[in-house]
Amino acid sequence: MKPYNYVVYLLSVIFLGISGVYAQNNGRAVVSGKVSTSNGLPAAAVSVAVVGTRQGTTTDEQGRYRLELTEAGPVTLEVSAVGMARQRKTVTVSAGTPVEQDFTIDMTSAQLQEVLITQSRGYATLAPSPTLRLDEPLVEIPQNIQVVSPKALADQQVISMSDGLIRNVSGAVRLEHWGNLYTNISMRGTQIQALRNGFNVVTSYWGPLTEDMSFVDHIEFVKGPAGFLLSNGDPSGSYNVVTKKPTGETKGEASVTVGQYNLYRTAVDLDGKLSRNGKVLYRLNVSAQAKGSHRANESDNRYVVAPVIAYRPDDKTTITAEYTLQYARMSDVGSYYVFGPVNKGYAWLPQNFTMTPEGLDPTNITDQTFLLNVTRDLTPNWKVTAQGYYLRYSQKGTSMWPESEMTDDGKIIRGVDIWDAFSRSILGQAFVNGHFNTSGIQHRVLAGVDVGNKDYMADWLQSFALDTEDDPFDVYNPDLGRPANGYPVFDRETSLSERAEAAGGIQTQRYAGVYLQDELGFFENQLRLTLAGRYTWVKQSEWGEEAYQASHFTPRIGLSWSIDAHTSAYALYDQAFVP
């Protein structure tokens, strides 16, 4: 059986099994519903409790809640949040017959947001985004997940993924000289995988282009292997960039940032409705930036347009289309390594020292993505999500490397290597989240499939010496004017595919993965046992060599214990698959 057919077969078995479970009468009393604000928007992070018991929950991002009750009969539900009047409603529940009860709170979405910020001191996040696929509070997940919230990003005025972001995350460091070209973050010994809206968007060792913060809502860092998220990748972890989506509330924001080293930046964020009935929503982010550096002859200029359209034909379905265009024009590929004589040791040159000459052609990058997401609530307990992603990246530029060793008296010949690149990714996902009970045990089910087709090609074979042996660069007497050997002129008449093949700069990857997880909750979900597994098939090639393929099954076992509402302890066994 071919790998793709095998994956489809496994997925069919999973979904058939879920359908069988869904059809069962589990014998538990379930009440669910939606909490909305007075202006008709979902009320997230609002408490819903059963009066007179310890049973309760909080609403998710869509304002929905779900309670599994141990006894049938009349119960009183209470909805509460700081700064709002409590609401109570009495409903009668019976085993095996779900009951829906909605609430509308006397508070607008803006007022509720202010209350939540005050209550959580602004930066706490209770649940992961839907793109992480785990439909449960963060405190209950047996995984180290750290979220950099929208409030933290705004208050810190973070505009750079690489510099402004990692100071919020423990154990994260940035390596290499790519500057703000790529967010090459390392954690626990290796480079972590870069995801956008749940998709692994890394097409090579150097991608993708960092997201401009104008269209970023928040970032989720997942530390360690996470089978529920990654088909294949390094075990150190991953970060997931969640982009801004329409909220349904009409609002807008414009900002202007001025800073040192010729930083000038403006951004506009518009959010609202395209139809009077609120079924068609939009979000538009536009930004432009001119940015210098503490080092001479370095710049990072960016222009971004990111429109999003969401269509909600009914209360259970949301269709979202998102397009993002990023254009970057930067010196070299962000910055140039600094070299010094061996006998001087490390880091003896001043912080603003550079070897980059004036007059070099800049590197130009165009990064485009298109996302289509469909989410459907099948019942109050079951939800299905399907999404596709198309990414297209092109680069025309250079990277600087020395053409000779540094002499003891500080002489070196600087070099410029061509770096033209093109990458394309076509990615797809489909997954189901569900809840049910059997014999007093709560089940949280996640099942899904993840497929991808990635291609990357680059020409880095051509090089040019800026200096000559008679007139090398001198770190003790640096001349950043026109180089002694002039400026490079590379062959760009030959197609990139031919040049990349000659340079050995072609990489490809095809993969398919299927994942199934059941989280079993005991003692009213105070103790949780996660049993899961992923089968992954990968076929890839690199450096222009022959493609090879491999497949592997990776198990996942987790145990989590809720000490109180805000504290839990967990143990996890998981694996990562790197072909």
Dihedrals phi, psi of 368, to nearest 5 degrees: -125, 140
Helices (H) and strands (E) in the chain, counts: 5, 32
**Residues 65-90: tens digit of each pLDDT:** 888 776 778 888 988 876 667 888 88
96 and 26 Cβ atoms separated by less than 8 Å: yes
Q: The tokens of 340 are what? A: 């010094």
Cite the beta strand spans of 380-440 per DSSP E.
382-402, 411-412, 414-438
- Nearest CA to 231 out of 263, 265, 198 is that of 198
| Class in CATH terms, 1-110 | mainly beta
| Class in CATH terms, 257-561 | mainly beta
- Domain positions in the chain: 1-110, 257-561
pLDDT tens for the chain, residues 1 to 579: 454 454 444 445 444 444 444 444 345 678 888 888 877 778 877 888 888 776 778 787 778 888 877 677 888 898 887 666 788 888 888 877 788 889 988 876 666 766 655 454 456 777 788 889 988 888 899 999 999 888 888 888 888 876 667 788 888 887 776 766 777 788 888 888 889 999 999 887 776 788 999 999 999 999 999 999 888 888 889 999 999 999 888 889 999 999 999 999 999 999 999 998 889 999 999 999 999 989 999 998 999 999 999 999 998 899 999 999 999 999 887 677 888 888 888 888 998 999 999 999 999 999 999 999 999 999 888 999 999 999 999 999 999 889 999 999 999 999 999 999 999 999 999 999 998 988 889 999 999 999 999 999 999 999 999 999 999 999 999 999 999 999 999 999 999 999 999 999 999 999 999 999 999 999 888 899 999 999 999 999 988 788 999 999 999 999 999 988 778 999 999 998 888
355 and 336 Cβ atoms separated by less than 8 Å: yes
The Cα diameter of the chain in Å comes to 93
179 and 300 Cβ atoms separated by less than 8 Å: yes
Give a three-class secondary structure readout of 372-383: EEEEEEEECCEE
CA distance 44 to 37: 9
208 and 199 Cβ atoms separated by less than 8 Å: no
Q: The tokens of 282 are what? A: 């939009």
For every residue of 131-177, DSSP letters joined together read GG---S-GGGSSSEEEEE-HHHHHHTT---HHHHHGGGSTT-EE-SS
579 and 232 Cβ atoms separated by less than 8 Å: yes
**Which H or E element spans position 271?**
strand 263-273
For residue 26, count other CB atoms closer than 10 A to its CB. Answer: 20
CA distance 208 to 195: 9
285 and 267 Cβ atoms separated by less than 8 Å: yes
For residue 393, count other CB atoms closer than 10 A to its CB. Answer: 22
Return the SS3 of 523: coil
